[in-house]
Amino acid sequence: MVTVMVTACPHALGVAIPLVVAISTAVSARNGLLIRNRTAFEEARKITAIVFDKTGTLTEGAFGVTEIEVLDKNANADQFLATVAALEQQSEHPIAKGIVRAAKDKNLVLPSVENFASMTGQGISGNVGGENWQVVSPSFLKTNGLQIPEAATERTAETVVFVLKNKELAGFIALADKIREDAAEAVRELKNQNIKVFMATGDNPQVAKYIADKLNLDGWFAEVLPHQKVEIIKDLQSKGEFVAMTGDGVNDAPALAEANIGIAVGSGTDVAAETADIILTDSRPSDVVNLVRFGKATYSKMVQNLWWATGYNVFAIPLAAGILHPQFVLSPALGAVLMSVSTVVVALNAQLLHRFLKNQNGKKW
Ligand code: ADP
Ligand code: MG
């Protein structure tokens, strides 16, 4: 009876899961994945569809101003840029940072702004020199019955924002962004794992199509407002998909919360990081692939460990109970050794998760 009790001590069972959790959390953190919600991480293996935000997620979000068009030919272009930059100084959108940088490069003095307001996913507004200024998206123009100037529609691969002075079109600024280096590879890998890859962006359809074609996406949605990103997630879920959302902006936060797994890009906003289950600290889209892979590896280690921890009892307990008596009797001391060995096996097996890094074709993962 003593041997049975010693052998059946569920020590290995107790450490089977926590050891894997501790190791996988540490390994993930070291490789660019900050796990805020364990359950979401372990469910990463179930992902069937993933929706990426564009700006700052698939692209670097480091916009450079490529063109400034002022409609009023008598207006001073530098003053125009200074006014817009003054407004944008108070926004944390990547577009805003690009415009402010352009003004700084020209050493422009920025005027003061009053009544600044941000319309998430649409643009910003504020008063400069007693006049109302707005910097907005093409869809904002459309919903407010304003015509998009022809010169702007020609710029198909760029993001264009429009400047309104007292609600009248005053000009536009075109900006270019770069696709993140590993975005294409990430998309390819995700598709290889039978995961559908979509993009949902607040930007205009031309840019969206340009990026979607370049990355060979399964589908894209353009000019979507934050609540519409949520609808896209819900729609996919209702079709039976297990959906992950990856985004960086305030505009992505509702969708990050709605998705089965919310993934925030580290270089993005605090709001996105606060809402997400997992944060990509190195801001690499390919880390999403690692997340799925490592989520799978972690889960299978857990299952293996449960087998090791309980499986050994299948033969050890009958032995301890004297099934082979009188040919073989398991002594309490030997029972204790067996019990300890099962714990050691479980611990060593969990350690193998470190090896997962080296198995990824010599790459970091
Ligand atoms: P994305 O989904 O690609 O990250 P957002 O939803 O953040 O884009 O923004 C959608 C659109 O709203 C932008 O493409 C831009 O036209 C406009 N916009 C948003 N914020 C700003 C801003 N600070 N200044 C100018 N335009 C903005
Ligand atoms: Mg974004």
Plot region of 286 (φ>0 → left; ψ -120 to 50 → alpha; else → beta): alpha
Given a contact cutoff of 8 angstroms between Cβ atoms, the answer to whether 207 and 156 are in contact is yes
Predicted pLDDT of residue 121: 86
**Cβ neighbours of residue 18 closer than 8 Å, sequence gap 6 or more:** none
Ligand 1, atom 25, lies closest to the CA of 123
Predicted pLDDT of residue 72: 85
Predicted pLDDT of residue 265: 95
**Spatial separation of the C-alpha atoms in residues 42 and 294, rounded to whole Å:** 9
Q: In Å, how far are 25, 32, 291, 357 from 360, measured between CA atoms?
A: 18, 15, 13, 6
Over residues 327-346, the mean pLDDT reads 93
Predicted pLDDT of residue 289: 94
Ligand lying nearest the CA atom of residue 142: 1
Ligand lying nearest the CA atom of residue 246: 2
pLDDT over 90 (residue 43): yes
pLDDT over 80 (residue 362): no
**Cβ neighbours of residue 27 closer than 8 Å, sequence gap 6 or more:** 294, 353, 354, 356, 357
Residue 53 is a catalytic residue:
yes
**Cβ neighbours of residue 121 closer than 8 Å, sequence gap 6 or more:** 137, 202, 224, 225, 226, 251
Entry pTM: 0.86
Predicted pLDDT of residue 361: 47
| Mean pLDDT for all residues in the chain | 93
Residues at Cβ < 5 Å from ligand 2 ion: 53, 55-56, 248-249
pLDDT tens readout for residues 206-242: 999 999 999 999 999 999 999 999 999 999 999 999 9
Ligand 1, atom 19, lies closest to the CA of 123
Over residues 170-192, the mean pLDDT reads 95
C-beta of 53 in contact with ligand 1 (< 6 A): yes
355 Cα to the center of ligand 1, angstroms: 42
13: three-class secondary structure by DSSP: helix
The conformation of residue 110, written as its DSSP 8-state character, comes to P
8 Cα to the center of ligand 2, angstroms: 54
For the CA of 200, the closest atom of ligand 1 is 2
**Spatial separation of the C-alpha atoms in residues 289 and 175, rounded to whole Å:** 29
pLDDT over 90 (residue 191): yes
pLDDT tens readout for residues 127-173: 999 999 999 999 999 999 999 988 888 888 899 999 999 999 999 99
Given a contact cutoff of 8 angstroms between Cβ atoms, the answer to whether 197 and 191 are in contact is yes
**From 68, 92, 137, mutation site for ligand 1 pocket: most ligand atoms within 8 A of C-beta:** 137
For the CA of 88, the closest atom of ligand 1 is 23
Over residues 5-29, the mean pLDDT reads 92
Predicted pLDDT of residue 358: 62
For the CA of 136, the closest atom of ligand 1 is 26
- pLDDT range class, residue 363, cuts 50, 70, 90: low
- What beta strand segments (E) does the chain contain? 33-35, 49-53, 64-70, 114-119, 123-128, 131-136, 159-165, 168-176, 196-200, 219-221, 243-247, 261-265, 278-280
C-beta of 123 in contact with ligand 1 (< 6 A): yes
**C-alpha closest to that of 195 among 285, 256, 275, 257:** 285
**C-alpha closest to that of 52 among 194, 224, 238, 294:** 224
**Spatial separation of the C-alpha atoms in residues 116 and 133, rounded to whole Å:** 10
**From 99, 120, 122, mutation site for ligand 1 pocket: most ligand atoms within 8 A of C-beta:** 122
Predicted pLDDT of residue 359: 61
**Cross-strand pairs, 200:** 53, 221
Predicted pLDDT of residue 156: 82
pLDDT tens readout for residues 309-330: 998 889 899 999 999 999 999 9
Q: In Å, how far are 116, 128, 136, 162 from 133, measured between CA atoms?
A: 10, 7, 10, 10
**C-alpha closest to that of 338 among 16, 18, 8, 15:** 8
**C-alpha closest to that of 195 among 296, 266, 275:** 296
Q: Which two tokens stand for residue 145?
A: 């019955």
pLDDT tens readout for residues 91-105: 989 999 999 999 999
User: By percentage, how much of the chain surpasses pLDDT 90?
Assistant: 85
pLDDT tens readout for residues 271-308: 999 999 999 999 999 999 999 999 999 999 999 999 99
pLDDT over 70 (residue 262): yes
Q: Give the long-range contacts of residues 313-322, CB within 8 A, separation 24 or more.
A: 313/7, 313/8, 316/7, 316/8, 316/342, 317/4, 317/7, 317/8, 319/7, 320/3, 320/4, 320/6, 320/7, 320/8, 321/3, 321/4
- 56-60, 81-85, 198-202, 311-315: least confidently modelled range: 311-315
Ligand lying nearest the CA atom of residue 202: 1
Predicted pLDDT of residue 357: 64
For the CA of 250, the closest atom of ligand 1 is 7
